[in-house]
């Protein structure tokens, strides 16, 4: 396996495919998944001659099952170190869900010249949890329920999420894919329970407002308006408004896992943005 060791001794697994002199696209996965969730997009762009990179966030997939550092500041630091080790220049960073938050924090803090563009897909910014400052957010009790379900029976919880709201399989007329559900379960169970437990707080309570304001590069915000995991109204439009150079693209009726359920649409739109 290809791994990079961070300054605190954490092993970060990553895939790095394609010509080293080609335009680089870096993919950031959602919770509680791994780089494997991007295989469809990586194969699509690799076939077109791009260099594609995806890593397993610390505590997830094949990376070290850390019991500390499972929060956005450390996730961003890991990426700063990985980008320096690979000498990434003018890369395009694409993040889904929790990975979208990771992209926002990393891009806001990245060294000049490292990032050319960013994409946030079904992403958690600006902030998910409800508060006086964010009255449209989700109540903390929902995330407490996630934590309780993970501790009680992580294996069953990781079947229930993709079988229902994640891919919209609970909607009338939806046709669930056993392969998609079991692949989600496989990725989730490969990671560490403690890191995934901590990451619930990271994706739900981190406020990315200042990160979004600080991002200078062109940023595409892609979101389905039937997203049952990261509700549309309190995420994508607000993020797009905070970005200096943001573009919002809304997908009517699309679910949270739309990169998997509708890759023919998402890949084409990603390619148009990359080439623009």
Q: Which tens digits make up the pLDDT trace of 199-221?
A: 999 999 999 999 999 999 999 99
pLDDT of residue 65: 98
One-letter-per-residue 3-state SS of the chain: CCEEECCCCCEEEEEEECCCCCCEEEEECCCCCCHHHHHHHHHHHHHCCCEEEEECCCCCCCCCCCCCCCCHHHHHHHHHHHHHHHCCCCEEEEEECHHHHHHHHHHHHCCCCCEEEEEEECCCCCCCECCCCCCCCECHHHHHHHHHHHHHHHHHHHHHHHHCCCCCCCCCCCCCCHHHHHHHHHHHHHCCHHHHHHHHHHHHHCCCHHHHHHCCCCEEEEEECCCCCCCHHHCHHHHHHHCCCEEEEEECCCCCCHHHHCHHHHHHHHHHHHHC
Active site residue 204: no
Cβ density class 206-229: b for 16+ within 10 Å, e for less? bbbbebbebbebbbbbbbbebbbb
Closest alpha carbon to 57 in 4, 109, 110 = 4
- Using one digit for the tens of pLDDT, what is the confidence trace for 115-157? 999 999 999 999 999 999 999 999 999 999 999 999 999 999 9
242 close to 153: Cβ distance less than 8 angstroms: no
222 close to 119: Cβ distance less than 8 angstroms: yes
pLDDT of residue 257: 98
Q: Average pLDDT of 74-98?
A: 98
Tally Cβ neighbours within 10 Å of residue 175.
Answer: 5
Q: Which residue has the tokens 């919770």?
A: 31
* φ and ψ of 207, to 5 deg: -100, 115
pLDDT of residue 260: 98
Catalytic residue from among 28, 96, 223, 256 = 256
Is the pLDDT at 270 greater than 90? The verdict is yes
pLDDT of residue 148: 98
Catalytic residue from among 227, 234, 235, 239 = 227
pLDDT of residue 236: 98
Domain architecture of the chain: domains with CATH: 3-275 (3.40.50.1820)
Is the pLDDT at 1 greater than 80? The verdict is no
Confidence of residue 230 (pLDDT cuts 50, 70, 90): very high
Confidence of residue 60 (pLDDT cuts 50, 70, 90): very high
For the entire predicted model, the pTM comes to 0.97
Q: Average pLDDT of 222-251?
A: 98
Q: Average pLDDT of 263-273?
A: 98
Catalytic residue from among 34, 63, 97, 163 = 97
Q: Average pLDDT of 234-242?
A: 98
Active site residue 255: no
Active site residue 97: yes
Confidence of residue 112 (pLDDT cuts 50, 70, 90): very high
**Mean pLDDT taken over the chain:** 98
Work out the percent of the chain whose per-residue pLDDT is above 70.
Answer: 100
Closest alpha carbon to 102 in 70, 129, 134 = 70
pLDDT of residue 30: 98
């Amino acid at each position: 396996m290809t791994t990079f060791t961070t300054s605190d001794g954490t092993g970060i697994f990553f895939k790095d495919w394609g010509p080293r002199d080609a335009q680089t696209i870096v993919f950031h996965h959602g919770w509680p998944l791994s780089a494997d969730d991007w295989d469809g997009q990586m194969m699509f762009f690799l076939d077109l001659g791009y260099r594609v990179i995806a890593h397993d966030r610390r505590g997830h997939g094949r990376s070290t099952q850390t019991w500390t550092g499972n929060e956005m500041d450390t996730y961003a630091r890991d990426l700063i170190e990985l980008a320096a080790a690979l000498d990434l220049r003018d890369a395009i960073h694409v993040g889904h869900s929790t990975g979208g938050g990771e992209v926002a924090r990393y891009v806001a803090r990245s060294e000049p010249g490292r990032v050319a563009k960013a994409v946030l897909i079904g992403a958690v910014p600006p902030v998910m949890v409800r508060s006086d400052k964010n009255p449209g957010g989700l109540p903390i009790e929902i995330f407490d329920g996630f934590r309780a379900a993970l501790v009680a029976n992580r294996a069953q919880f990781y079947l229930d999420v993709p079988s229902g709201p994640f891919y919209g399989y609970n909607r009338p007329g939806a046709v669930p894919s056993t392969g998609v559900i079991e692949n989600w379960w496989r990725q989730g169970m490969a990671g560490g329970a403690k890191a995934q437990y901590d990451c619930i707080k990271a994706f739900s309570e981190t406020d990315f407002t200042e990160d979004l304001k600080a991002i200078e590069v062109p940023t595409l915000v892609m979101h389905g308006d039937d997203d049952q995991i990261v509700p549309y109204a309190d995420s994508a439009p607000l993020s797009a408004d905070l970005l200096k150079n943001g573009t919002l693209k809304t997908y009517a009726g699309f679910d949270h896992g739309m990169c998997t359920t509708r890759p023919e649409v998402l890949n084409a739109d990603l390619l148009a943005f990359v080439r623009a």
